[in-house]
């Protein structure tokens, strides 16, 4: 991450954010460039992003954490997460694949049971089971 810069996203970054989210195959719903922080190269190419997304039940979600495959393993995701956590006090939830749980535990997140989840996340987990995507994990940092 030597020459990578973290900064708030601009409207001009939105096409690159959307393309990155599609590239890595994560949830494209609720993308609002005004909530994003982006990691950019010195020539302003977006190589990573993340946001904190508010939900109608009052919960907030660390979401859309993505890094271009060619730039992975350079602690860019870590820098984005640490930045978002510093700017957005807990409690924050996140949804991830089961296999990523240990990555988020390093930041203080822990898995929560369905009966401990806000309404938004309970509904999402029920829908995931209907579509047989039961390998999702909801985590919380307090």
pTM, full prediction: 0.90
Give the tens place of pLDDT for each residue, 35-83.
Answer: 999 999 999 999 999 999 999 999 999 999 999 999 999 999 999 999 9
Structurally, the chain folds into a number of domains equal to: 1
Length of the chain in residues, anyone? 142
93 contact partners, CB below 8 Å, separation of at least 6: 59, 60, 61, 62, 112, 117, 118, 121, 138, 139, 140
Closest CA to 22 of 49, 40, 52: 49
Is 133's pLDDT higher than 80? no
Q: Domain range spanning residue 103?
A: 5-141
CATH code of residue 87 = 3.40.630.30
């Amino acid at each position: 991450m030597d020459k990578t810069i973290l900064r708030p996203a601009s409207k001009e970054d939105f096409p690159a954010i959307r393309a990155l989210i599609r590239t890595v195959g994560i949830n494209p719903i609720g993308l609002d460039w005004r909530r994003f922080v982006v990691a950019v190269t010195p020539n302003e190419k977006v190589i990573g992003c993340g946001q904190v997304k508010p939900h109608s039940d009052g919960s907030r979600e660390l979401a859309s954490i993505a890094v271009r495959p060619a730039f992975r393993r350079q602690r860019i995701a870590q820098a984005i997460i640490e930045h978002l956590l510093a700017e957005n006090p807990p409690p924050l939830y996140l949804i991830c694949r089961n296999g990523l749980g240990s990555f988020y535990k390093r930041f203080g997140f822990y898995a929560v049971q369905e009966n401990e989840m806000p309404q938004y996340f309970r509904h999402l987990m029920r829908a995931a089971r209907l579509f047989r995507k039961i390998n999702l994990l909801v985590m919380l940092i307090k």
